[in-house]
Amino acid sequence: MGAYGEALAVRRLAAAGMIILARNWRCRDGEIDIVALDGDALVICEVKTRSAGPYEDPMAAVDQAKADRLRRLAAHWLDQHGGPPQGGVRIDVVGVRLPSRGAPQVEHVRGVT
């Protein structure tokens, strides 16, 4: 389910004009789901996928601890890839809901932290 949600997120980001640099990038502190360029800004993107049912909203899954971890991971990416781009760094979240019937619902929120 997670890989399917990430594939939907990649399509949404690419359709918005972003260039996907990496998927599932890992370092010693964890993983970044998607790294992309939006113009001259680097985007660190967390993807949360939920199936139909009484589960929390996918967007609610990114709490302060998760946001702090994403900032640390972004710093590792920048260390390994030559520092921040001219447009800076932004952290986005893509929430994917998979209803029991019908098309998936994909929500992209920019600059969550």
For residue range 97-110, list pLDDT tens digits in order.
998 888 999 999 99
Q: What is the pLDDT of residue 76?
A: 96
Whether residue 45 contacts residue 77, with contact meaning beta carbons closer than 8 Å, is answered with no
List the 89-98 sheet strands across, edge first: 19-27, 30-38, 41-51, 89-98, 105-109
Q: What is the pLDDT of residue 81?
A: 95
Domains in the chain with CATH codes: 2-109 (3.40.1350.10)
Q: What is the pLDDT of residues 23-61, one digit of tens each?
A: 999 999 999 999 999 999 999 999 999 887 766 677 777
